Chains A and B, each alone.
Chain A
């Protein structure tokens, strides 16, 4: 028996669950902002909650065991998998001069850079998302937000982005950046986001 085998046998005797061949495994990872969500795993009538980063649930022989792994072990086991993950969506915001459909100078500069940014993404998509403030009815704001997004879509088309790479969304007054009461005019909420993914 080689040294490695002895070591494995020793480790297995110390921690049976970790070495037993699992049928299923779930590993919880921290997000890029360091925050970790949670996953509820149900198997064989048992439930385990993963809520700590690197929590590791393994199912073997009808047992569901909660373990803990590490960044290094995740790299060893799943590094190649994680390297194939698509790019995380990135969000850019453009603003208009008050009461006009003219972009602010900063937003014009940003818009001009979108084509080059998009070209760095494989099968890149630009999702143009319009928003309003809370003045007016919900349905009217849905239409208005879509109009704003369409305006920016046309600018992206003029900047040379292919039409099939652009989608338009109107979120209306549902996602303000500044919380206000209904019917309050708020310039910061009247905006268009460009999501690249």
Chain B
């Protein structure tokens, strides 16, 4: 193997090691954003590059993508008391979630990629409603502390 190729190999491997080490670290010191309270049928989560089944009691983290099958639905309570319930054939991405339990300040951004979602906003919206946002591929929702349902058929529909 030419020296330059060997060097490239070493660099690639060490970069991969560095990347995996930092993502493990990030996962370890990040508190869960919420917890699954209800689950029915097929419910999975894409977490840290892996797809896993999601069941009652499972924690959820920022970056998680929740998917329900045609028979699936799932109810989640975030740590600021926000209630998120997704119906069948839904994909929900937790883009952003921060919550300081002492001051009750934080922010929430979630994207309903497709399907149905019912929302009961929590403590973040009480303190700073402008920090709570929901999106679909076509719509942006600003929230003023409330309960609502969002349905989307997805991008460009």
- Which residues does chain A contribute within 8 Å of B36, judged by CB atoms? 123
Interface residues on B, range: 35 or more
Interface residue from A43, A50, A142 paired with B148 (Cβ < 8 Å):
A50
A43 pairs with B138, CB closer than 8 A? yes
Interface flags for B127-157 (1: CB within 8 Å of A; 0: not) read: 0000000001011111111111111111011
- Which stretch (A10-18, A29-37, A105-113) binds chain B? A29-37
Give the residue of A24, A121, A127, A170 whose beta carbon is less than 8 angstroms from that of B136.
A24
B146-A36 in contact (CB<8A): yes
Once A89-B81, A122-B38 are accepted as A-B contacts, the answer to whether A171 and B73 lie under 8 Å apart by CB is no
Given A81-B73, A169-B102: A24 touches B138 (CB 8 Å cut-off): yes
Q: Is the interface of B mostly helix, strand, loop or mixed?
A: strand
A88 close to B102 (CB less than 8 A):
no
> Are the C-beta atoms of A37 and B149 separated by less than 8 Å?
no
Which B-chain residue is minimally distant from A197 (CB atoms)?
A: B77
User: When the two chains form the complex, which single residue of B87, B104, B116, B143 contacts A39, counting CB atoms closer than 8 Å?
Assistant: B143
- Decide if A5 is an interface residue (CB 8 Å cutoff): no
The 7 lowest CB-CB distance pairs between A and B, nearest first, are A37-B146, A86-B37, A40-B142, A38-B144, A123-B57, A23-B157, A86-B75
A interface, CB within 8 angstroms of B: 21-31, 36-44, 50, 59, 74, 78, 80-82, 84-89, 121-123, 125, 127, 142, 167, 169-172, 174, 195, 197
Sample of 15 further A-B pairs with CB below 8 A, known A85-B83, A174-B104: A23-B153, A24-B138, A24-B152, A26-B150, A27-B149, A37-B121, A37-B143, A39-B142, A40-B142, A50-B148, A81-B118, A82-B149, A84-B75, A85-B85, A89-B77
A-B contact pairs, 23 of them (CB 8 A): A23-B138, A24-B139, A26-B149, A29-B146, A29-B148, A30-B147, A31-B146, A37-B147, A38-B146, A40-B143, A41-B140, A59-B139, A78-B118, A80-B87, A82-B85, A84-B74, A85-B38, A85-B120, A123-B57, A127-B101, A169-B102, A171-B101, A174-B103
